Amino acid sequence: MLSAPPAPTATTVTPTATQLLIDNRWVSSESGKTFATLNPSTGEEICQVAAADAAGVEKAVQSARKAFEQEPWRNMHASERGRLL
């Protein structure tokens, strides 16, 4: 006989990272816009996080390109990069 799973319990979560991580720094979006992150088991809002806009995405892409083109990242084996990420 199958039994019903236990009801979700309330947990207080206090996120510490609600900004965009660009160039190894936490930054707000250029527009200042945010969006809600919801607890999937309760539907309640956990927090507001920065919404990346075109300017933020461009900065992130430029930063990633710069990191990839510089050593040691460029010459590092993909599995090692994955471990670091």
What pTM, to 2 d.p., does this model score?
Answer: 0.67
Mean pLDDT by 10 residues, the chain (85 residues): 71 83 92 93 92 94 89 85 84
Q: Which pLDDT belongs to residue 29? A: 93
Q: Which pLDDT belongs to residue 85? A: 78
Where are the domains positioned within the chain? 20-84
3-state SS string for the chain: CCCCCCCCCCCCCCCCCCCEEECCEEECCCCCCEEEEECCCCCCEEEEEECCCHHHHHHHHHHHHHHHHCCCCCCCCHHHHHHHC
